[in-house]
Amino acid sequence: MTGSGRILRLALFGLTPILCLGAEMTAHAGTRIETKSFGKTRAGESVELFTLSRAGAPRVAITNLGGYVVSIEALDRAGRTADVTLGYAGLPGYLGDSSYFGCLVGRYANRIGKAAFTLDGKRYALSANDGPNTLHGGPTGFCRRVWTAKVKAEKDGDALELTYVSRDGEEGYPGTLTATVVYSLREDGGLVIDYSATTDAPTVLNLTNHAYFNLAGEGEGTILDHELQLEAEAFTPVDATLIPRGELRPVAGTPFDFRQPLAIGARIDAADEQIKFGRGYDHNFVVRGTPGTLRLAARVADRKSGRQLEVLTTQPGVQFYTGNFLDGKTLGKTGRPYLKRGAFCLETQHYPDSPNQPAFPSAVLRPGQVYRQTTVYRLSVAK
Ligand code: GLA
């Protein structure tokens, strides 16, 4: 380093305390983020745990391994806190996770039929990791990657920015894709997830967060008595391998009608072919309103605790999944078994298999375009 370089560095160091003071003052007004080590991956990469706190909002911990939401501590009617999202006691659990407990799923969340798609006349082969299909980006999707993390000081306090650059050909997908996800907290209790992405060659893209919720607290039995309201007139029925058939089917008169609040368990074992294929609910719903505008997709209430979750999104669809593959063998953060239907997921998304379904909203991203989506998980106490 040159002499003047050294002086410049010293001068900058000299300024640091003043800059920090300024940043802290902003952070006090809104969200604050604390950073600590979460351990190391098997390859020796350091992973951090970021804790976001803000008055009036749940405390949320997130790691840059896969962007997992590690915990969401939400108040109940009596002012007691519980962690309402499923996960593990520490990093080793997340490294071995096969349930996607709260991670950022990509490059294509949900399924692509027969693990292949054609784009601009060229066929791309993916890895089949769910019977004949590819699921959640393939065996080494975005959940398994260490994302670059940055705590950004914004007007409204700190926000956590995670970036992952997926190389051309990774898991079979074309184009170098740069994905950025910003997590922040809103004053009204909302956990905001802002997604953006660009590519250097045409590709397909579907990003989501796969948080599992139990509003009574993680490990507190099943969610069958939680009441769900879904802002959807239609869903996309599937075949036996959970690939949409291309049809949008009205929910009216089916066990998929949640236009009025109803217990999740009310019809979860109905004698219905779609319910049988999903072993319960594991289906994409068409969110009412205009994709691209942030609108309510779902509201779930646990009458016992008084906790309520609202899901708002710009995405065209939402996968409602009722933890049908959980079997009590996974022990959660406090050692309690995660039972079948011990949680629900509302994964905001493009419809499954869109790359092979010309009638579905397009999931293609081209160079020069910017992919943008926002989802808000808002926790509150029902009046
Ligand atoms: C999604 C899928 C389910 C299941 C879970 C993860 O919700 O639709 O079928 O794969 O992820 O276990």
260-307 residue pLDDT tens:
999 999 999 999 999 999 999 999 999 999 999 999 999 999 999 999
By C-alpha distance, which of 270, 260, 233, 261 is closest to 249?
Answer: 233
**Nearest protein CA to atom 7 of ligand 1, as residue:** 321
What number does the ligand 1 atom closest to the CA of 98 have?
A: 12
Catalytic residue positions?
210, 347
Would you state the structure tokens that stand for residue 41, as one six-digit string?
A: 């991956």
pLDDT band of residue 118 (cuts 50, 70, 90) is very high
Please report the pLDDT score of residue 137 as a whole number: 98
Please report the pLDDT score of residue 88 as a whole number: 98
Average pLDDT over residues 228-234: 98
The pTM assigned to this predicted structure is 0.92
Residue 144, burial from CB neighbour count under 10 angstroms (0-12, 13-18, 19+)? middle
DSSP result, 153-202: EETTEEEEEEEEEEPTTGGG--S-EEEEEEEEE-TTSEEEEEEEEEESS-
Reported as a single tens digit per residue, the pLDDT across 165-204 is: 999 999 999 999 999 999 999 999 999 999 999 999 999 9
**Nearest protein CA to atom 12 of ligand 1, as residue:** 99
Please report the pLDDT score of residue 328 as a whole number: 97
Residue 276 has phi, psi (to 5 degrees) of: -65, -45
Q: What percent of the chain has pLDDT over 90?
A: 92
Please report the pLDDT score of residue 31 as a whole number: 97
**Percentage helix, strand, coil, to 5, in the chain?**
15, 40, 45
Which residues have C-beta atoms less than 6 Å from ligand 1?
99-100, 110, 135, 242, 282, 319, 321, 325, 345, 347
